[in-house]
Amino acid sequence: MPLRPDARASVSRRSGGFALLIVLWTLVLVAFIVAHLTASGRTEIRIARNLVANAAADAATDGAISAAIFNQMDPSPDQRWPLNGPAREVTIGHSRVAVQLEDEAGRINPSNASPALLEALLRITGSDAESAHRLAAAIGEWVGTAPDAAPQSAIAAYRAAGLDYGPPGEPLETLDELGRVLGMTPAVLAAIRPHLTLFGPAQPSPASADPVVTAALATIAQTVPTPVSPNQPPQELLTVRITATAFGPDTAQVKRTAIVRVGANLPGGYMVLAWGGSRFD
């Protein structure tokens, strides 16, 4: 039976409304896909831009450290950047770099410092007298400066503490190694670490020492003679810690530290002892 004209019009309107609904949902889906692709593209562009900016800042730190090394090799002392002073700002490419130079001889070298100096440092940074004395002796056993390198009693103490190792009786390879010394805690290591170095003499230079090291030196000045280390570099050699912090485009920031020995007697005039990483921090 054929539909009446008004029924056919009603069916047509319903079909048209359904088709319009499909079109609208299709447009919404297309808009969502376009928005997602646009957002993803912007994110990838932003990531790529950040990678480029960080790479530029990273290269700028290396360039600034190299510039500082060659500055310290200048034969005219008055042309060299001063040590232990305010940071100096240089421009490398499109990055601004703050360069800080410190005399490494102002820090305490736990591999060859006297037990009395280590004990004084520990006490000044917060350890009690008994703990400081015991820990300074343990460091001496670890690095081999104790009268008997790695004595059996020291090894037995490590075993009794449930540790499967003992003092190697050798100079430190990293400052992190101090964390393995019996009695050392993360808090104590964090307190003394800013005043330590792997590259300094047995007796720090008072002229370059920070207030904490200066106080430790003053504590032992009347009781302990100045030790002479066979590993101490000649006086004509300078050991410098160079810290470069680069501020590149798009808020990029990179920090790097190098320790360099400078002197006319060295091949090429300088020797890089450490560059980047955490082994000397």
> Of the residues 167, 191, 215, which one is the last residue of a structural domain?
191
Q: Is residue 120 part of a domain?
A: yes
How far is CA 113 from each of CA 28, 108, 117, rounded to the nearest angstrom? 74, 7, 6
Q: Is residue 151 part of a domain?
A: yes
**Does residue 176 share a domain with residue 278?**
no
Q: Is residue 224 part of a domain?
A: no
Alpha-carbon gap, residue 149 to 129, rounded angstroms = 24
Q: Is residue 211 part of a domain?
A: no
Q: What is the DSSP letter of 221?
A: T
Phi, psi of 173 (to 5 degrees): -90, -30
Give residue 188's pLDDT. 97
Alpha-carbon gap, residue 246 to 175, rounded angstroms = 25
Give residue 256's pLDDT. 92
How many other CB atoms are found less than 10 A from the CB of residue 259? Answer: 22
**Does residue 235 share a domain with residue 102?**
yes
The CA-based angle 246-247-249, given to 5 degrees, is 130
Are the beta carbons of 83 and 240 closer than 8 angstroms? Answer: yes
Q: Is residue 273 part of a domain?
A: yes
How many other CB atoms are found less than 10 A from the CB of residue 162? Answer: 6
Q: Is residue 246 part of a domain?
A: yes
Q: Is residue 100 part of a domain?
A: yes
Alpha-carbon gap, residue 101 to 65, rounded angstroms = 10
Tokens (6 digits) for 29: 């889906």
Q: 12 burial class (0-12, 13-18, 19+ CB within 10 angstroms)?
A: exposed
Alpha-carbon gap, residue 67 to 112, rounded angstroms = 31
Which domain does 186 fall in, by range? Answer: 115-191
Q: Which residue's structure tokens are 């001496």? A: 140
What DSSP line would sit under 250-279, residue for residue? GG-EEEEEEEEEE-TTSGGGEEEEEESSST
Give residue 278's pLDDT. 47
**Does residue 126 share a domain with residue 36?**
no
**Does residue 87 share a domain with residue 201?**
yes
Give residue 93's pLDDT. 84
**Does residue 235 share a domain with residue 156?**
no
**Does residue 257 share a domain with residue 201?**
yes
Tokens (6 digits) for 202: 């047995």
**Does residue 101 share a domain with residue 233?**
yes
Tokens (6 digits) for 54: 């960080």
**Does residue 103 share a domain with residue 153?**
no
Give residue 11's pLDDT. 45
Q: Is residue 78 part of a domain?
A: yes
**Does residue 87 share a domain with residue 47?**
yes
Tokens (6 digits) for 263: 């002197």
Tokens (6 digits) for 35: 């928005």
| Residues written for the chain | 281
Alpha-carbon gap, residue 155 to 4, rounded angstroms = 106
**Does residue 201 share a domain with residue 91?**
yes
pLDDT per residue of the chain (281 residues) written in tens, 0 to 9: 454 555 444 545 555 556 666 766 776 677 667 666 666 666 676 666 767 777 888 889 999 999 999 999 998 889 999 999 899 999 988 889 999 999 999 999 999 999 999 999 999 999 999 999 999 999 999 998 877 655 677 888 899 999 999 999 899 999 999 999 999 999 999 999 999 999 998 899 999 999 999 999 999 986 655 554 444 445 568 999 999 999 877 777 889 999 999 988 888 899 999 987 545 56
Tokens (6 digits) for 118: 């280590």
Give residue 251's pLDDT. 76
Give residue 48's pLDDT. 67
Alpha-carbon gap, residue 102 to 123, rounded angstroms = 24
Are the beta carbons of 58 and 246 closer than 8 angstroms? Answer: yes
**Does residue 201 share a domain with residue 83?**
yes
**Does residue 172 share a domain with residue 260?**
no
Count of domains forming the chain: 2
How far is CA 40 from each of CA 28, 190, 212, 230, rounded to the nearest angstrom? 18, 43, 52, 61
